[in-house]
Structure 1
Amino acid sequence: MKSQEIKQAIKAKGYTLSMLADALDVNLATVSGVVCGHTQSRRIAEAIAKLIEKPIHVVFPDVDSYAQPKLLKGALRQQGVNELKQLLAS
């Protein structure tokens, strides 16, 4: 999506970039940078995608790192390993 489309979709939900920045405890410039494609933040991009109810790869199709699955760490990684063991054992 283009930055204007993202902003319009957020506005259609009744929110602003400033409100999103406050909710994420970041500054407006950071959120704006992600929307405009000047900076990258998976956390902010995921929040935007969730807010406008679209998959992250649809909202930010030009950012390859957003399209890749998030790396699992700690307990989530171990859960994934256990699931793989079960899958591969059958």
Structure 2
Amino acid sequence: MDRNQIKKALAEKGYDFSMLAEVMERSPSLVSKVAARQARSRLIANAIAKVLDTDIRDIFPDVVEYHHPKATSNSEREQRKEQLAKLLKDK
């Protein structure tokens, strides 16, 4: 989806960029820039996907870094680091 399609889909649900920005305590400009691919924010991209009840990959198919889950907790991050260290040590 491009910026205008995202804007239209949000409007169909009764929302706009400024409402999303206010609730997320971010600037409307940043929300607009993320939708237009002029800035990156996984947090905002995920919020847009959640509001539109659509997979983030369908909204942002061109932003590959949004397609992979991010470790959300410190324990998950530590586990991933341990796996990475083991992988690199074994090679």
User: CA 1:16 to 1:72, structure 2 compared with 1: closer, same or farther past 3 Å?
Assistant: closer
Paired position in structure 1 for 2:42: 42
Please give the residue correspondences for 1:19-58 in structure 2 after superposition, counting only pairs within 5 Å: 19-58=19-58
Paired position in structure 1 for 2:3: 3
Paired position in structure 2 for 1:66: 66
For 2:72 and 2:37, locate their aligned partners in 1 and report how far apart those are by CA, in whole Å. Answer: 25
TM-score (norm 1): 0.81
The one-letter amino acid paired with 1:40 is: R
Instruction: List structure 1 segments (4+ residues) > 4 angstroms apart after TM superposition.
Output: none
Percent identity between the two aligned chains: 38
Aligned residues: 79
Unaligned runs of 5+ in 2: 81-91
Unaligned runs of 5+ in 1: 82-90
